[in-house]
Structure formats: C-alpha cells, structure tokens
C-alpha cells in the first residue's frame, strides 16, 4: 500500500478514528487555549490560535466527506459540505446562547460539541433509515461532519471576535456579515478537498493536504475580518500565519500531485490511450 | 420612488447582466458544474484531453465564495480604513480572483492526478494560460455582485437590513444557480457534443465522448470561452440581470412596508408572464427546429 491510501473502503494511511481524535482534541484545545490566553492577558493577539484550531476540525471533516462520498455520492460532495456547515452553525448558536444563559462562556465549546455530535448522528439515521441511502458509515460520518462544521465555525468565529461570548460573536461575526465568509469558506475547506481530488486514484494524504491548504486560505479571509473587529496587529498576524500555512501546504500539494499524476508535462499532445 | 433610486435599480440591473455573463463564461472556461461530468468521464472512457477540469463545487457555492470574499474585503476596507467604496470593491474583487485561482488550480491538479490509471496527464501550459482567464472572469463577477450588495445596503433610500457580505453570498448563490441552469446547457450540450445532431439529447452511449480536437490542433478551454460568449454567456446575463432588476424594481416602485401586497402581486404577475412566455418559446422552437425524436416511454430498470 502506498502512503496515500485510496478511497472506496480501501485501507487509508491515516485511520479515521485517530484523525477524529486529533481533530476534536486539536480544535477544542486550540479554541480554549486562545480564549483563555486572550482573556487572561487582556489582549486579542491570540485569536489566531482559534483559526489554527479550526484547521484540525476541517481535516477531520474532509476525511469524513471522503469516507461517506467514496460510496459513490459524486455530485453530492458539495451538498454534504454545505450540510456539515448547516448542522454546525445551529450547534454553535445553540451552544453559545446556552453557555451565556448558564453564566459561564467557557462551557460553550463542550455543549456545542455534544449537541453537534448527537444532531449529526440523528441526521445520519434519518438519511439512512428514512431516505434510505444505505451507506454503512452514514451515521458516523454525519456526526463527524456536524462536529467538524461546528468546530470550524466556532474556531473562525472566535478568530474574528476574539472572545467566546454570545453577544460579542453576534455583533462581530453575525451582524457584521463575516459569518458569510466563515460559512462558505469553511464549507469549501471541508468539501473541496475530496471534490477536487475525486477519481479512482484519489489518495488520502493528497486530499487532506488540500484541506489544510484551503483552510489556510480561509484563515487569510478571517484575518481580513479580524482587522476590522480587533485592530491591525491581531488581524495582520492572523493573515500572515494563514498565508504561510497556505503557501507551505500548496507547495506540498503540488509535490504530491507530481508524485501521483500519470505525468506532469510542460506542454504536449494527447497521451497514448490506455484502456 | 424617485429618479435617483430608479437610476440605482437600472445600474444594478446592468451590473447583474455583466455578472451573469462573466459567471457563465468563467464556469465554461474551467468546465465547472454540469458539463464537468463529461470532461471527468472522458478520460475514463479512453479519451484523455486537454480541457480544463475546474471541479471546485457546484457553481452556486463557488460563486458565493468569490462574492462573499469581495464583499468582506470591501466592507473591512470601508469600515476600518474609510477607503472610497469603488477602490475597496476593486481590492475585494482582486482578493476573490486570487482565491479563485488557487481553488481552480488545485482542482485541475487533483482531478487529473486522480485519473492516473487512465493516463490523463497534467499539462502545466494549460494552468499557465487558462487560469488567468478564469480569474479575470471571476474578478468581473465578484466586483459586480459586491457592487450590487453595496448599493443595496448603503445607497438605496430604503437600505436592506442584512449585512453586505450576507447579501453578496445570497446573490453569489443566485448567479451560480442561474449560470448553472441557463448557460451550461449551451456549453455542455452544444460545444462538448458539437459533432452530434442539434437537439438530439445525450444518449448514454455518448457519455464521455466529448469533442477533443478543434478546427486546428487540439480543443482547449479558451476556444470554449469564445464559443460560449456567443450565446450561453449573454443568455445567463439576461437571466440574472432580469432577476435582479425586476425584483428590485417592484420593491422600489411599491414601498415594501406600506404597499407590500402590491409588490407581492407584481411579483406573481412577473412569474405568470414568464411562464407563458417560456411555454411559447419552447413551442415555437419545437415548431421551427423540430422534429425531435419521439419520446418512447420510460425504459424499465
């Protein structure tokens, strides 16, 4: 087996359980770290940690898309990415407002994670039992996607607002309209990797590197948003780190493309047909 | 209603027409959306090709991303740096075009290298000369959509209550949906299968048998843009322009708060007129260019 691992039930180089654990732990720890550092030091330069934390969630989501869609949902790849963010945003709004009601904003991410997991699982059960998709990993995949979408939205919302407070996120992210870019760039970060690499010779590592690359791009966008809400220093820091992540992983992606492609040529006529 | 707001509505209609046209041509250069399935299939049925494979997502989410990016950059520059609106919108559209370029390239690389066993090569010259054309059209689309959102939020006498980026996202989804349903047929049906009889539909047997050779040399995606500019692009532009113009016209002529029933009635009237007109067009096309092959009933699975 190559390092990449092919789709469609074939062995993957990275085990989905491990990726899920890294994704959940990475995103939760990152968001908490950013939030606690920001409030303890009374600053907002650590908001970028939230954006980096979202990348862990995106990688887990992209792997879930890959697992579910490898069962032949070709045109459904974009739809399932949008579904992930749709489930996620409901969980985020619910969790943040619950935390505000309970009086402790730090329990927000945990409530969001639990709610998103249960909600996604139920959607998966409905998809399999009522709509009759009959995809074995549907429930698990939808729970993963829902949690990934929720953590991505939460991480990037935190990166723009600088706190986990419901009112702050409402004012800085929703009312200013930055939620639009979080929603759509987050959605593309989850759905684009598998969609862009769809094909019989898809490789897991290439798909996941693409996910990190698109997340870096989304981080550039949240950095631009953070310039308006948190000031130039914090926003530019986020933007520069996002650009660095994007640049590094784009180069890595191109290396993997050269490794996997039949041929990468400067120019040329049609290749000899292989049937 | 005053002359100023009517002028703004007309400007929005014009911008939307341009946005629709450039959106469709952008997706056709990259073979995005519906026609993409045939480009993807071509190599798998033994027809490797030199056509761009820009599988970013369906057109609606992709265009929503460009439009929302342009809008958030413009919004940030306007609110945080008090930049003039026109310059801010230009800067926003430029960032959106860069995002577009990255996603386009990664899709071309990824899709083609995932077809290794069919010997589909990755041609770097295609990346070098086609991606800038795609980015240029995405620039036009996102500039126009972000400008429409700006006008709706900051310039109309009764401003829209939503934030600018959310409106741009919704219009981006709308232009993608219209481009996907109006213009793509011209590219997918008439260009990829131009060696088939007009209006013959796509037989399953022909799946993936797209035209790969041009009048001289090999078919490339810039040729497809030239072809689609003649009909698919303008038709999409008209579709989206009319959507934006008529929708805003009725809420400008009739006050949306005090005269809401009139605005709703006018919307229903437009829908009825369009249904009747579309029915007439379809019938007259069948009369003039038919006969099309008879429908022989569903084939049992």
**Domain count of the fold of chain B:** 1
| Residue B41 structural domain | 3-253
Query: How many angstroms separate the most distant Cα atoms in chain B?
Result: 65
* Residue A158: strand, helix, or coil: helix
Of residues A3 and B188, which shows the higher confidence score? B188
Residue B203 in contact with partner chain A when CB distance is under 8 A = no
Q: Is residue B61 part of a domain?
A: yes
Q: How many whole angstroms separate alpha carbon B247 and alpha carbon B259?
A: 15
Q: Among partner residues B64, B110, B125, which is closest to A196 by beta-carbon distance?
A: B110
Contacts with B118 from chain A: Cβ below 8 Å: 200, 262, 274
Residue B218 in contact with partner chain A when CB distance is under 8 A = yes
Nearest CA in chain A to B106: A196
Contact between A270 and B99 using a beta-carbon 8 Å cutoff: no
Calculate the average pLDDT of chain B.
90
Return the DSSP state at A171: I
Residue B207 in contact with partner chain A when CB distance is under 8 A = no
In this predicted structure, what is the pLDDT of residue B57? 84
Q: Among partner residues B47, B48, B164, which is closest to A177 by beta-carbon distance?
A: B164
Instruction: Please give the structure tokens belonging to residue B4.
Output: 């100023």
Q: What is the pLDDT of residues B40-94, one digit of tens each?
A: 889 888 889 999 999 888 889 999 999 999 999 999 999 999 999 999 999 999 9
How far, CA to CA in Å, does B126 sit from each of A269, B134, B173?
12, 12, 28
Its pTM stands at: 0.92
Residue B68 in contact with partner chain A when CB distance is under 8 A = yes
Q: Is residue B280 part of a domain?
A: no
Mean pLDDT over residues B15-29, rounded? 94
Contact between A260 and B114 using a beta-carbon 8 Å cutoff: yes
Mean pLDDT by 10 residues, chain A (275 residues): 42 80 93 93 91 95 89 78 91 93 90 94 91 85 94 94 91 93 94 91 92 95 93 93 96 95 91 64
Q: What is the pLDDT of residues B170-180, one digit of tens each?
A: 999 999 999 98
CA dihedral A213, A214, A218, A221 (to 10 degrees): 80
Instruction: Please give the structure tokens belonging to residue B45.
Output: 């049925």
**DSSP bridge pairs for A264:** B122
- The alpha carbon of residue A42 is apart from the nearest alpha carbon of chain B, in Å, by 22
Residue B199 in contact with partner chain A when CB distance is under 8 A = no
Residue B121 in contact with partner chain A when CB distance is under 8 A = yes
Of A8-17, A196-205, B221-230, B274-283, minimum mean pLDDT range: A8-17
Nearest CA in chain B to A202: B114
Q: Is residue B63 part of a domain?
A: yes
CB-neighbour burial class of residue A103 (10 A; exposed 0-12, middle 13-18, buried 19+): exposed
Comparing CA positions, the residue from B264, B247, B259 lying closest to residue B152 is: B247
Contacts with A186 from chain B: Cβ below 8 Å: none
Q: Write the ipTM.
A: 0.92
In this predicted structure, what is the pLDDT of residue A268? 87
In this predicted structure, what is the pLDDT of residue A275? 47
- Please count the other Cβ atoms lying within 10 Å of the Cβ belonging to residue A37: 15
B3-30 and B85-113 are packed helices; what angle lies between their axes, rounded to 10 degrees?
Answer: 20
Contact between A262 and B102 using a beta-carbon 8 Å cutoff: no
Domain ranges of chain A: 16-260
Q: How many whole angstroms separate alpha carbon A74 and alpha carbon B247?
A: 34
CA dihedral A265, A267, A269, A271 (to 10 degrees): 10
Q: Is residue B272 part of a domain?
A: no
Contacts with A179 from chain B: Cβ below 8 Å: 165-166
In this predicted structure, what is the pLDDT of residue A10? 45
Residue B53 in contact with partner chain A when CB distance is under 8 A = no
How far, CA to CA in Å, does A168 sit from each of A62, A157, A230, A231, B56?
29, 10, 12, 15, 33
- The alpha carbon of residue B229 is apart from the nearest alpha carbon of chain A, in Å, by 26
Contacts with B62 from chain A: Cβ below 8 Å: 188
Return the DSSP state at B218: B
In this predicted structure, what is the pLDDT of residue A11? 47
Q: What is the pLDDT of residues A126-142, one digit of tens each?
A: 988 898 888 888 889 99
Q: What is the pLDDT of residues A12-29, one digit of tens each?
A: 678 888 899 999 999 999
Mean pLDDT over residues B207-218, rounded? 87
């Amino acid at each position: 087996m190559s390092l990449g691992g092919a789709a469609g039930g074939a062995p993957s180089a990275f085990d989905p359980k491990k990726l899920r654990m890294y994704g959940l732990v990475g995103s939760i720890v990152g968001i908490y770290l950013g939030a606690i550092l920001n409030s303890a030091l009374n600053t907002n330069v650590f908001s970028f940690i939230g954006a980096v934390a979202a990348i862990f969630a995106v990688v887990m989501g992209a792997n879930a898309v890959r697992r579910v869609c490898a069962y032949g949902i070709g045109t459904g790849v974009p739809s399932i990415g949008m579904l992930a963010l749709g489930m996620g945003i409901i969980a985020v709004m619910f969790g943040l407002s619950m935390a505000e009601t309970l009086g402790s904003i730090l329990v927000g991410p945990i409530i969001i994670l639990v709610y998103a997991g249960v909600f996604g699982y139920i959607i998966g059960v409905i998809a399999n039992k009522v709509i009759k998709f009959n995809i074995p990993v549907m429930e698990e995949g939808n729970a993963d996607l829902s949690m990934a979408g929720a953590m991505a939205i939460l991480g990037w919302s935190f990166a723009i607002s600088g706190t986990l407070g419901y009112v702050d996120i409402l004012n800085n992210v929703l009312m200013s309209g930055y939620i639009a870019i979080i929603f759509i760039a987050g959605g593309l970060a989850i759905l684009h990797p598998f969609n862009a690499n769809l094909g019989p010779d898809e490789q897991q590592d290439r798909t996941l590197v693409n996910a990190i690359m698109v997340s870096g791009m989304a981080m550039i966008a949240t950095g631009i948003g953070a310039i308006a809400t948190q000031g130039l220093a914090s926003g530019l820091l986020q933007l520069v780190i996002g650009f660095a992540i994007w640049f590094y992983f784009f180069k890595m992606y191109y290396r993997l493309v050269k490794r996997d492609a039949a041929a990468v040529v400067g120019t040329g006529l049609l290749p000899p047909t292989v049937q | 209603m005053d002359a100023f707001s009517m002028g703004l509505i007309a400007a929005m209609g014009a911008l939307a027409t341009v946005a629709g046209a450039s959106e469709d041509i952008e997706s056709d250069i990259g073979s995005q959306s519906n026609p993409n399935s045939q480009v993807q299939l071509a190599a798998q049925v033994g027809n490797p090709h030199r056509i761009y494979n820009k599988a970013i997502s369906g057109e609606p989410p992709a265009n929503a991303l460009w439009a929302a990016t342009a809008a958030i950059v413009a919004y940030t520059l306007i609110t945080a740096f008090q930049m003039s609106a026109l310059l801010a919108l230009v800067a926003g559209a430029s960032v959106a075009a860069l995002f577009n370029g990255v996603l386009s390239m990664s899709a071309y690389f990824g899709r083609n290298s995932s077809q290794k066993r069919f010997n589909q090569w990755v041609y770097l010259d295609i990346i070098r000369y086609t991606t800038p054309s795609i980015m240029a059209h995405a620039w036009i689309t996102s500039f126009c959509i972000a400008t429409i959102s700006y006008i709706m939020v900051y310039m109309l006498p009764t401003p829209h209550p939503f934030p600018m980026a959310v409106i741009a996202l919704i219009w981006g989804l709308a232009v993608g949906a219209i481009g996907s349903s109006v213009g793509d047929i011209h590219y997918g049906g008439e260009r990829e299968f131009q060696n088939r009889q007009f209006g013959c539909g796509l037989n399953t047997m022909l799946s993936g048998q797209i035209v790969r050779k041009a009048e001289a040399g090999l078919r490339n995606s810039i040729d497809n843009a030239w072809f689609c500019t003649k009909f698919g692009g303008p038709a999409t532009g008209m579709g989206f322009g009319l959507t934006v113009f008529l929708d805003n016209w009725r809420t400008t002529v009739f006050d949306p708060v005090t005269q809401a029933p009139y605005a709703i009635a006018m919307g229903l009237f437009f829908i009825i007129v369009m249904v009747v007109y579309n029915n007439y067009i379809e019938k007259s096309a069948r009369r003039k260019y038919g006969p099309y092959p008879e429908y022989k009933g569903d084939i049992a699975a």
